[in-house]
Structure 1
Amino acid sequence: MAWNDPNCKMKHFVSINKTEIEFFSDENITILEQAESNGHSLKNGCRLGACRVCKLKLLSGDIEYTVGNKIGLTKKELDDNYFLPCCAIAKSNIVCEADGDNKTLSDTKEGAVICDITRTPGITVIRFKLSKRSKMDFIPGQYIGIEVPNGKCRYYSVANIPKDDGYVEIHVAKNKNGVFSDVICEKLKVNDVLWIYGPYGDFISDYHDEVRDIVFVATGTGFAPIKSIIESGVFNERNIHLFWGGRRKVDHYFSEIVDNWKNTLGNFHFHMALSRSDEEDHPEAHYGYVQDVFKKEIGQNNQIEVYMCGSPNMISDMSELLKENYQLNEDYIHVDVFYPNS
């Protein structure tokens, strides 16, 4: 592609290092949208600036964010010159690059066979069998992309330790009027093959303060990556608290697994949060939003390291609470935002 292409007047040239991706971008369209309109598949999630899935590192040039987006990058990511193409426009010719966990989709594509499907009214649990020659190397808390019928990707956290048995487990919440969640929750069957990408993500930290308690806070299927981390045993020497929020008890769809942790892990403490009461009384439950239950149960203990995964509202409330009430710095706060998949 020529830099002086006469048909590209008033556009800016975008190039992603170490890939073959390059294109001209208008100032009235986001870089992500422009990439897709040119046939390039870039990793993305919420498309609103909060989940950080699409982040790229800006090496040269200028970008500008569109109005109304909440940029979810951490201070360190901003200092390291990362930006979010889902809500940024190019203001000059730019050169950027993807870091190690943010490759283009074409780099990591593998077929996987569905070997088990468990459906409940609100959640579908699917297990894929990986090829014995699979090159996917997972760490706890990561996620994968799954190709949907229109060729785009939807992203789901891995809920197990694939290297242990060669399977990948995902938890899919039924989303009303969602095209792909409807396919997964209603139409897929055992022995179907789907294309998967990844793994991606850095939810689990490389740095740990051995003195601090580990606190997991989840809503809904935000339980999935937390399940993977707990089952990995990486925090077995620490006190572990799990706060899992749902509307009703039935939303805690893997209660038997949590019960097993309570019986086998002497350092594990479970806090069930129910935001709505139902016909049954659950003496073991706390009633209220999970962030309120967290504040009540943790009290003034600020010797904690927190992993949050779930709805944007919960993440926003918890992040504010941790910084204002507990004075936690970013080293001890880890976030994975879940957005409803279409």
Structure 2
Amino acid sequence: MTYRLRIEPSGHEMDCDRDETILEAALRHGFHIPYGCRNGTCATCKGRILRGEVDYGKVEEKILSAAEKDAGLALFCQAIPLSDVTIEVREIGATKDIQIKTLPSRVARIVDLAPDVRAVFLKIPTTERLQFLPGQYIDILLKDGGRRGFSLANIPGDDALLELHIKRVPGGVFTGHVFSAMKEKDILRFEGPLGTFFIRQESTRPLLMVATGTGFAPIKAMLESLFAQGSIRPIHFYWGVRHPEDFYYQDLLREWQARHDHFQVTRIVSRPDASWSGATGYVTTQVIHDFPDASTLDAYICGHPDMVFSLSAALQGAGLNPEHIYADAFVFAKAKTS
């Protein structure tokens, strides 16, 4: 049995299998809507059901509340139609010509960036090309059928290595392997590119970019792309970590600051020691202090979900329309980064 799925305001229609989520159906038919984790924890795919009934799937109350369900909202990565359904969501044209591939890769280089962060550089076969938008991620495919998602920290290039920033997660099977046993020339398979976290090129608004921890990875790719394009949009980047030694690529950030007058960086440490003389506390508090009126910005937020959700809400409270907030929540429990 299939149901008819309609997307508004575009008017696109397609069939949706009875065991298929709305997101799966849309992507299968080549229609791209916002999404991130694909398992109901990042809320990027939240949208409105205009007509019809759905099975909402297993979604935590804090991600999709009963009040939101009553208001017609659903997570499209979890919602399965129980009838013909019409949804309201913004479609994304930038990814429509990008092919999601499953490819082998070879570990070309491993670099320690911080005490608990490693950069893993992957080389794909010379006969292949991976087209992607800076900010997207790939899923490493494990032998047991699991998958682990990591953002790409580099910009596309014909012979570029794919750069991943991997944080050691206590008890994480894959990250434990990365830090204890992975070596150069190991072979990994991945699927990608995935996600809709990337710069909206049509906008000219000032950019607020915020990361915690290895949320810097997609932000790094976005910044490299903007600088390569010669963009002069004002950029203020906030990066929050627990300890000063958790920062990395500091020489690169200093170089960018020296070369680009429109680029500013604020580093924030939540658990400082005596050696740290910079900003302390949490990025959400600092950002809202610096931008009590956020209404003119485009915000790109990546990192721990608590920060992503709290800052998104705070920015809306400071006047920023949610249509100008783009986020990627690193949800450890969903095996995206564990």
TM-score, normalisation: structure 2: 0.76
- Aligned-pair RMSD on alpha carbons? 3.9
The CA deviation at 1:201 is: 2.1
1:64 aligned to 55, 68, 71, which one? 55
**Equivalent of 1:160, from 149, 154, 162?**
154
Partner of 1:132 in structure 2?
126
The range that moved more, 155-164 or 231-240, is 231-240
2:331 aligns with 339
User: What whole-Å deviation, never above 9, does each CA across 1:67-99 have from its counterpart, x for those lacking one?
Assistant: 634249xx9xx99x984344x455459899x99
Change (3 A) 1:301 1:178: closer
Q: 2:214 aligns with which of 193, 214, 221?
A: 221
SS at match of 1:162: coil
Which among 233, 241, 246 is matched to residue 246 of structure 1? 241
Deviations 1:34-83 (A, max 9, x none): xxxxxxxxx98373342547x899999731224634249xx9xx99x984
CA shift digits 1:277-307 (9 cap, x unpaired): 1131x33x21110111112233445422111
Distance 1:255 1:224 in 2: 13
**Residues 336, 130 of structure 1: CA spacing in aligned structure 2 closer, same or farther, 3 A cutoff?**
same
The equivalent position to 1:297 in structure 2, one of 282, 286, 290, is 290
Task: Check whether the contact 2:42–2:331 (CA below 8 A) recurs between aligned residues.
Answer: no
Structure 1 counterpart of 2:76, from 81, 84, 91 = 84
- Superposed, 1:307-322 pairs within 5 Å as 307-322=300-315
Question: For residues 56-205 of structure 1, what are the structure 2 equivalents within 5 Å?
Answer: 62-65=53-56, 66=58, 68-69=60-61, 70-71=63-64, 83-86=75-78, 88=79, 91=82, 108-119=101-112, 120-163=114-157, 165-205=159-199
Residue in 2 that maps onto 1:48: 40
From the superposition, tell whether residues 117 and 57 of structure 1 become closer, same or farther in structure 2 (CA, over 3 Å): farther
1:216 and 1:50 map into 2 onto residues whose CA distance is 18
Residue 256 (structure 1) aligns with: 251
SS at match of 1:132: coil
| Structure-2 residue corresponding to 1:330 | 322
Q: Deviations over 1:118-167 (max 9, x none)?
A: 13421111001122222420111111111123122111110011316421
CA contact (8 A) 1:140 1:225 kept: yes
**SS in structure 2 at match of 1:318:** helix
Distance 2:127 2:166 in 1: 26
C-alpha spacing 1:136/1:14, structure 2 compared with 1 (3 Å): farther
Contiguous gaps of at least 5 residues in structure 1: 4-12, 33-42
Indicate the residue corresponding to 1:266 in structure 2.
261
Q: Secondary structure of 1:277's match?
A: coil
**TM-score normalised by length of structure 1:** 0.75
Match of 1:237?
232
Letter in 2 for 1:333: I
Give, in whole Å, the separation in 2 of the partners of 1:231 and 1:175: 27
Amino acid at match of 1:110: L
How many residue pairs align between the two structures? Answer: 303
Residue 30 of structure 2 aligns with which residue?
none
Q: What is the alpha-carbon distance in structure 1 between the residues aligned to residue 159 and residue 321 of structure 2?
A: 37
Amino acid at match of 2:101: T
Q: Is the CA contact (8 Å cut-off) linking 2:108 and 2:185 kept in structure 1? A: yes
Partner of 1:286: 279
Q: Distance in 2 between matches of 1:208 and 1:291?
A: 27
Separation in 1, partners of 2:47, 2:298: 27
| Helix, strand or coil at the partner of 1:197 | strand
Amino acid of the structure 2 residue aligned with 1:50: C
Map 1:201-212 → 2, pairs under 5 A: 201-210=195-204, 212=205
* Larger relative contact order (CA 8 Å, sep ≥ 6): 2
Question: Is residue 142–residue 157 contact of structure 1 (8 Å, CA) maintained in 2?
Answer: yes
